[in-house]
Amino acid sequence: MNVRGIQGRFSLVVVIGLICALGVLVLLVARERLTVQSLEKVARESITKLVSSTITANTRATATQMADAMANPLYYMDLDTIGAIQSTHRKLPSTKYIIVYDEHGRIVHDGTEDILSFGMPQVDPLANQIIGSRAPMTLQDGMMLDVSSPIMIGENKIGGIRIGVDLTEVKRQQDVAIAQLHNNMQQRIRRQELAYILAALVAIVTSLAMLLYVNRRIVHPLKRLARATDEFKGGRFEPVIDDGNANEIGVLTRSFNRMGRNLELYDREIRNMAYTDNLTGLANRFAFREFLEEAIRPNEVGEHQMIGVLFFDIDHFKRINDTHGHYVGDEVLKLFSARVFETMKKHGADAAMLARFGGDEFVIGWPSGVWGSDQATTAGASREHQRVVTELANGILETMQAPLEADGETLVIDTSIGIALFPDGDITAVELIKRADSALYQAKEAGKGCYRYYDFELQQRSERMLQIEMDLEGAWKRGEITVAYQPICRLDTNAIVAVEALLRWVHPEQGHIDPSLFIGMAEASGIIDVLGKEMLYKACMDIAAIKRELPDDYHLALTVNVSALQLRDGILPSMIGTALRESGLDAKSLSVELTESAVLQYAEVVEAQLDRLRRMGCEVWLDDFGTGYSGLSQLRRVRVNGVKIDRSFISDILTDDEDLRLTSAIIEMARTLEIQCVAEGIEKQGQLDILRERGCEFGQGFFVARPMRAEALREFILERHAEIKRLQPPELF
Ligand code: C2E
Ligand code: MG
Ligand code: MG
């Protein structure tokens, strides 16, 4: 039970109230008992006092009376009269003795006929005290009350009288009276206690009845309302049972039910709105997701449905919007969806749902039959499933071939379709849609106007690419991208005359990333500007440092690759100037490598920049020469200091005559134009020999040296220099 709830609190109050009431009752009972006890005590004492004082007073009066009456008879020793005086009193059952004695304390009369003790002294313990006293005395010895009075004649005591009263009977009667009193009192207490117990029982029963009432009439209906409110959250608007109560709870229940009915109506409306696409009247992405979630759920016997999900959009839809306006765009979307819907019907996809995901993106979810449980039928069903889905995709593509008439405009549109099939692994509806979406991307990549089935590996690759692209930003700062240097040697002397700076990226998870890949990404995202600048500075610094360790007459050049994009805004010369100044490297020692395509792309700004560079003293080389389609024509337009024959020619130079002839022609051309020539990608001695034989001046490749870090490069150059010096006469070097 919730102690904070009404029932809990009410019960707590009732229990506390009951405990207090019972406490008060117990106190009252205890107090009553104490009162009765003290009353009893007082009564007992009063009775005892009253009885003993009455007996004493009576006996005393009798003793005094008899003493007066016996004065003369004693004086004359008239024993008969003495006997007669006491005879009446002696008959009382409580009178034990009446002794008359003379002035010496000797017994004169003991109340008996024969007076056997006549003349005898009194020997009882009280006698001495009494004999010597001239005043009446009352003494008690156990249950015996002794009342005495002197017998006087004038002033002379001539004897005395003692009356002994046995108190046993009096005491017994007194005890009987007290016991009766006690009984009366106890009865009274019991009656009182019974009354209290009855009162307590009535209080408990009343409290329980109140609790029950509160529970039934307030707490229970409130709980029902609370449960119904929770149900509302789950979209269930069942009315709460109305007990027909006229009280506030009844009113509340009826208002609540009215509110539930209204909410149900709103909910239905909102769901309709939330699940429908306004423009086309089709289901929207939320409705589609729910539909697909329901469709991929296995049935009671664990069987799955076969589902085809087709994700498609209109190729170049943005262009339609931009050219013809959004109104035409909207019309196109409506007509497009209507055509797709027609096609679906033609292909028997009645159970399918067509939804608009937003913009020009549409999706079809087509559950078509149950996935068999045995292997043979499964394979057949799978093929059949794929066949019908493919037919539908082809149908959609075909139906787009007829032009659309949208608001007086005739338009030809095309669509690309991505398809994912279910079952295919343990996937959710969202993942299935994602697969179809990525298949659409693959269809777009494949040239649009076609369909593609989801390809896991392709998807993985594109996800990996996306990750790499995201990680590229800041990779230099994190120290993941570094610069490697590949030596370029003179083919006749083997001397290292230049090094090419090459970027290296070791990704923390994916390892080594190919520069051709990440440089393309850096160009596409614009990161190349920062990356190129950082690389240039670092390379200039490294090579300047190495050059300081080489002899003054050793000419070592640094060549850096410059991408087309770095040329577009014309700041390359000044950037190079700053790098040279800061590193202390002389301009003559720096060459830039450009590809033919870069030169072509920014032809109008390239020439001026290259002129500036040359005026500064830097050299300009054409990289990957022979691969571009411009070739010689570029050499005419842009004056370069040299060309680097692409390694694709060199790799087959020993086996492919064509490549050898082309390479020889490039070498010859360079010589004619009086420009230098580097052969890239030399991997074998044979390649080097033939290039040397054909008159190629410089070579670069794994056979000469692989790209290496600055420290290794320094060692490599110093060693090679020392070796050449040792082997060759100085004039050849
Ligand atoms: P590239 O400018 O033609 O660079 C030469 C490429 O050939 C380098 O590949 C180098 O490692 C490779 N190579 C050299 N000798 C051999 C050999 O004997 N056999 C084979 N198979 N390959 C050899 P890398 O480092 O992968 O660079 C690829 C391309 O990336 C470069 O081609 C260049 O276009 C670009 N690149 C590299 N670093 C930079 C840079 O800092 N800026 C720019 N814009 N592009 C760069
Ligand atoms: Mg290069
Ligand atoms: Mg190259």
Label the pairing between strands 496-507 and 511-513. antiparallel
Collect all residues with Cβ–Cβ distance below 8 Å to 117 and sequence separation of at least 6.
107, 110
For position 732, what pLDDT does the model report?
44
Residue with CA at minimum distance from ligand 1 atom 8? 502
Tell whether ligand 1 has an atom less than 6 A from the beta carbon of residue 591.
no
Q: In terms of residues, how long is the chain?
A: 733
Flag whether pLDDT at 630 surpasses 60. no
* Closest Cα to atom 27 of ligand 1: 515
pLDDT of residue 300: 81
* pLDDT for the residue numbered 699: 98
Domains and CATH numbers, the chain: 3-172 (3.30.450.20), 285-454 (3.30.70.270), 468-723 (3.20.20.450)
HSE-CB for 207 with a 13 A CA cutoff: 19
Contact 422, 436 (CB under 8 A): no
Beta bridge partners of residue 678, listed in sequence order: 644, 698
Q: Which ligand is nearest to the CA of 534?
A: 1
Spacing, Cα 561 to ligand 1 middle (Å): 9
Tens-digit pLDDT profile for residues 570-598: 899 999 999 999 999 999 999 999 988 77
pLDDT tens string 137-170 = 988 888 888 999 999 988 889 999 999 988 888 8
For residue 370, pLDDT beyond 90? no
Q: What is the pLDDT of residues 331-362, one digit of tens each?
A: 999 999 999 999 999 999 999 999 999 999 99
**pLDDT tens-digit profile of 177-195?**
888 888 888 888 888 888 8
CA 514 to CA 523: how far, in whole Å? 14
Q: What's the maximum distance between 2 C-alpha atoms anywhere in the chain?
A: 200
Q: Indicate if ligand 1 lies below 6 Å from the C-beta of 647.
A: yes
558 C-alpha to center of ligand 2: Å? 11
State pTM to two decimals: 0.55
Residue 5 pLDDT greater than 80, yes or no = no
pLDDT given for residue 633 in this prediction: 64
Consecutive H or E run containing 25: helix 6-75
| Residue owning the nearest CA to atom 7 of ligand 1 | 681
- DSSP SS3 for 235: coil
Q: What sign results for the dihedral spanned by CA atoms 436, 442, 443, 445?
A: positive
Q: Are 486 and 499 in contact (CB under 8 A)?
A: yes
Comparing 18 with 338, the larger pLDDT belongs to 338
In the sheet that 415-422 helps form, which strands lie side by side, from edge to edge? 353-358, 361-370, 305-314, 415-422, 451-453
Nearest ligand to the C-alpha of residue 646? Answer: 3
Alpha-carbon separation of residue 293 from 305, 389, 429, 433, 663 (angstroms): 11, 19, 5, 11, 62
Q: Is the CB of 626 under 6 A from ligand 1?
A: no
Distance from chain centroid for Cα 314: 42
Angle at 583 between CA 578 and CA 588, to 5 degrees: 80
Lowest mean pLDDT among 127-141, 228-242, 278-292, 519-533: 228-242
pLDDT value for 617: 96
Q: Which one is predicted more confidently, 645 or 602?
A: 645
Calculate ∠ Cα 89-92-93, nearest 5°: 150
576-604 burial: b if 16+ Cβ within 10 Å, else e: beebbeebebebebbbbbbbbebbbebee
Ligand nearest to the CA of 592: 2
SS3 content of the chain, % helix, strand, coil (to 5): 55, 20, 25
Asked if residue 502 has its Cβ within 6 Å of ligand 1, the reply is yes
Distant-in-sequence, close-in-space partners of 606: CB < 8 Å, separation ≥ 6: 567, 594, 598, 599, 638
